[in-house]
Structure 1
């Protein structure tokens, strides 16, 4: 019976894919030969120009692009300079330059932007290759050149069109059919999203010359992409690779959906994948009132403009998704033009009335999936609000660290509990570090920033967290005035302790409590409770630490019956390949927990020292 069910399911999936192939064939064959067809059709720039005139914020972005393009006119064209195994920085700069120059030409008609974009495309078309051994490089280069070719098509000389078209085919699309390079097709991470997007843009740009290739490549993307999309967003939209890779993988996923809708009139159901339309809430909630992200995993820290958020705001009919985006658009301190996808923001937001952008209503966001996360705050409008982000999941996830149970905390406009985030990959790869092996005993976990010793979590007897372990958000409070979550992280410490549970709550809108409950096996353990902070640290007594930052103070108070020893540890790297960690330190405590016993520990982050004792996690008002 089970075999019959599996066979039926397989036939259903095959039938669906065959129908998609047939639909792709019909749509490609009936597609207009007119350019432009990617993202912004002929004449649609008029709507963008109208929006620019209507809102100061849009004009800020528009004028920033034009000013940047005026500078680019006098820059040297790009050269094929590889950094380690990557050409990626060149590919990204090509995408940035060509996208912005093409936008500048379409919205102003100024020939200097057209000529400069043509020069950039011809320069990269003359490269020996686009570095297919690291296929992200090919994907981003192809996408950038495809946009320029399509948007400027009718104004380019035929000789230039031919050279650029050949480069898209030979240096972009063809290598994606070589098994040495197309591992992205079976990938479940951002490579799948980015690489498929680049290939689809490439074939759509030249579809009238390569209709068979266009059909085949689009159908292949529709078969491949769900392998990444389902695990990435199901069920709640919590992107497993974190803040920085959300911006990367999701932005290219949105580009792919958008270009299919615009060129073929259908996204073939991609936008309706489980959790996909919810994921914008995840991204917005990851940023605290300090403007800093909860940067777990291989992520950067700083928030920035995200064109994809404008697409989600329209798709969800939810202007509140643009709350932080609008604030950044209004700031003169934001460097807009470093974002290589910036013109897409004006395209996707062309119909958005920024006057309707209000603060979100809900102040708690919980997402499960491969990397569950809880994000809680006391206000969206108060820059001094309390913000807490806590991470569950597994170190086995792509780009994950051994950070299960770790958290960040913002209060009074400062970040008190921090996360190092990522280290530049090339700095490790050039030293021969086996960075991408996530096995329990791999060298990856020797990198200072990646293991549990460097995160705001627990360590037992100096051991690493269990790579194969997993923890979800088990319970949450539905009272946003007293937000709280609990998680059982016992699997993460398999064979180290019998049970480990952590809960985090914002109490009375005034302070944060972190509670840990530990049961030992038939052996004693030495536990380290760790906090990474950029604050100055002063031990006041055996249960109290004073943190000071920018003239503001925070007390870290510990409550337990166990005999703890508060300690301060340096964040000095342990290997020559580790990045420096200036102006940071660890503080926390060590404690001996007897065999076959239970202990609990409360840690309070409070500005005035006034707290209520936190009770057992089973009594917390959570479900």
Structure 2
């Protein structure tokens, strides 16, 4: 493991310094701008305010931050209260408070925000520690304290600055050299991005106190970050899914933006070759109802992602903000002011003319990599649009579930095929569930929401999917009369089938078709269970179809198969005391058997009310032949 990591780090160094020599970066770090230097430098307030005043939308966002700052004036300072093993909620609220108050002071000059920010800074800096055993807590606290220290540097009393500097050094940066805590330097997931961003901000904020030591922290982060940025290759898909994209990628961009400013050059391409393409992934991951494709440990609720404004600027593509502009409305004020990153939307997006943003052209997006995904829709402008998305990958990935081959579907303004998402981590950790082990035998897979029994995929011979398996997306078709993706699930079911492939298609912009082709082993039959989780009510079950209804809309699930099928429903309640309630949901689908040595195929048509299917388009998956191309 250590040899593998060392090789990766050395490769990362080559990538980093292909555009910048180590000595060149060191030299640039020796001539940093004066405070404030992070994200918004001295004198940039006036230009930002001029941009804000030109737009009613941006004015509303600006005023919502100021109003939230006013609300904080009478609240008691934060206290060091952990939930289980985490201080993370406190760290995140500290970042929100300090960021909002510091922004409010810099943009208005009103002393009340400076005084309240100082009070908050001193309170968290006097904590006994920032909980280094869960280093995300340290990273987010360091990020927030560093922004406050830098942005308010010229106005803070020297005694306060001394306390804050010491906390950044002793409670933030110094623990990052402890091998018990700094494993984030060696990983590819969001911990790498969040922790390196926090440490980089701490080092930049206090740089003058010990230039060589802080320089070492920054260069260490630059050696480590490419491990995480490589995860976006080759197309920009983020393995950990929608909400973890918002977390990891936002911190990644924070670090890049801060360094680009102080270095005076853009180092983004030198650190991650295809990182910039990930904006398309995030945009297509949200359906027409504002609900995400919430695979793995992700939540379904979508919301404003300030990082998208950074990407839109880099790519010179305002259409990337088609979904984001809806979240800027007054209706989302409460949600937005709970977003600790909200000021970034102004810092990165105030140049954008919100009213001139047009919808994207592409109705489909496919990404390969560790967790391949494909998303397709009938329209960007209609809330009634059909949206369907499917994933491949492996249960062994960080935050993954046994949801390989799973899909979600929206149509007629409702979600028909859904995902339960994660269960609260503390509720499981407190029951001694080994939640972070990804081995086949891990108790993680006994949690109902995490195994394949609860997802919109197959269960074969009542067995769990194989953690060691990996399912690529083999083919896609982009014709608007037949948008499709084909996923090879064979290795995920290696103990129960000879081969297993799933195709999903959005046909004629009218309905969705899911086709599975399964070959049983020569000596053993395969019992197939096809399930779709839904919040709809089951109105009728007939021989070959199930009729669903919700919110006054109807959907018919019709099944055609080579072998007889038994349509049925399954309860989503679990007998385990540690499992969350899944009230208001039901699983629908069928069971069938593929005889030993035989190959069976099963097609499910998901038909919105009023639509009919074309049986001629139910072709073998081998005829869905267009190869995957770059987005």
TM-score range, shorter chain: over 0.9
Contact 1:24 1:218 survives alignment (8 Å): no
Q: How does 1:468-479 map to 2 (within 5 A)?
A: 468-479=468-479
Per the alignment, residue 620 of structure 1 pairs with 624
The match for 2:281 is 282
SS at match of 2:401: coil
**Quick check: 1:61–1:329 contact (8 Å CA) kept in 2?**
yes
Report the TM-score, using the length of structure 2 for normalisation: 0.95
- Which residues in structure 2 correspond to 1:397-412 (within 5 Å)? 397-412=397-412
How many Å apart are 1:11 and its aligned residue?
9.5
Relative to 1, partners in 2 of residues 1:10 and 1:549: Cα closer, same or farther, differing over 3 Å? closer
Q: Look up the match of 1:389.
A: 389
Residue aligning to 1:195: 195
Contact 1:539 1:566 survives alignment (8 Å)? no
Does the Cα contact within 8 Å between 1:24 and 1:215 map onto a contact in 2?
Answer: no
Q: Secondary structure at the match of 1:622?
A: coil
Give the 3 Å change call, closer, same or farther, for CA 10–187 of structure 1 in structure 2. closer
Q: 1:272: how far off? A: 5.6
Which residue of structure 2 lines up, in the alignment, with residue 223 of structure 1? 223
Q: How big is the shift at 1:617?
A: 1.2
Q: Secondary structure at the match of 1:155?
A: coil
- Alignment length (residue pairs): 615
- Deviations 1:50-99, CA, capped at 9 Å, x for gaps: 12211111112111111111110000000000110000000000000000
Segments of structure 1 that go 5 or more residues without pairing to the other structure are: 1-5
* Other-structure match for 1:315: 314
Q: How far apart are the structure 1 equivalents of 2:11 and 2:392?
A: 37
CA distance in 2: counterparts of 1:579 and 1:402, whole angstroms: 17
1:578 CA displacement: 1.1
Q: Which residue of 1 aligns with 2:589?
A: 588
8 Å Cα contact 1:451-1:464 kept in structure 2: yes
Q: Secondary structure at the match of 1:474?
A: strand
Q: What residue number does 1:368 align with?
A: 368
Superposition deviation, residue 40 in structure 1:
0.1
User: Structure 1 residue 353: deviation in Å?
Assistant: 2.3
TM-score by length of 1: 0.96
- Please give the alpha-carbon distance, in whole angstroms, between the structure 2 residues aligned to 1:123 and 1:62: 26
1:367 CA drift (Å): 0.1
Alignment partner, residue 128 of structure 2? 128
CA deviation map 1:166-220 (0-9, x unaligned): 1101100000011111111101100000000000000100111221122100110
Q: State how far apart, in whole Å, the 2-side matches of 1:10 and 1:133 are.
A: 27
- Residue 355 of structure 1: CA displacement? 3.2
After the TM superposition, which residues 321-332 of structure 1 pair with which residues of structure 2 at under 5 Å, given as runs?
321-332=320-331
Q: Give the conservation status (yes or no) of the 8 Å contact 1:257–1:271.
A: no
Contact 1:460 1:496 in 2 (8 A): yes
CA contact (8 A) 1:47 1:350 kept: no
1:493: how far off? 0.5
Cα distance in 1, alignment partners of residues 625 and 142 from structure 2: 52
In 2, are the aligned partners of 1:36 and 1:153 still within 8 Å (CA)?
A: yes
User: Does structure 1 retain, via aligned residues, the 8 Å contact 2:511–2:611?
Assistant: no
8 Å Cα contact 1:142/1:199 also seen in 2: yes
Aligned-residue offset at 1:331: 4.4
Aligned match of 2:559:
558
Matched residues in 1 for 2:543 and 2:15: separation? 67
Deviations 1:24-58 (A, max 9, x none): 321121113x2100000111111221122111111
Aligned CA RMSD, in angstroms, stands at 1.7
Structure 1 distance, partners of 2:624, 2:211, is 61
Q: Which runs of 5+ in 2 are unaligned?
A: 1-5
Cα distance in 2 for residues equivalent to 1:609 and 1:95: 50
How far residue 621 of structure 1 moved from its aligned partner, in angstroms, is: 5.3
| Aligned pairs for 1:57-456 within 5 A | 57-230=57-230, 232-269=231-268, 273-334=272-333, 335-456=335-456
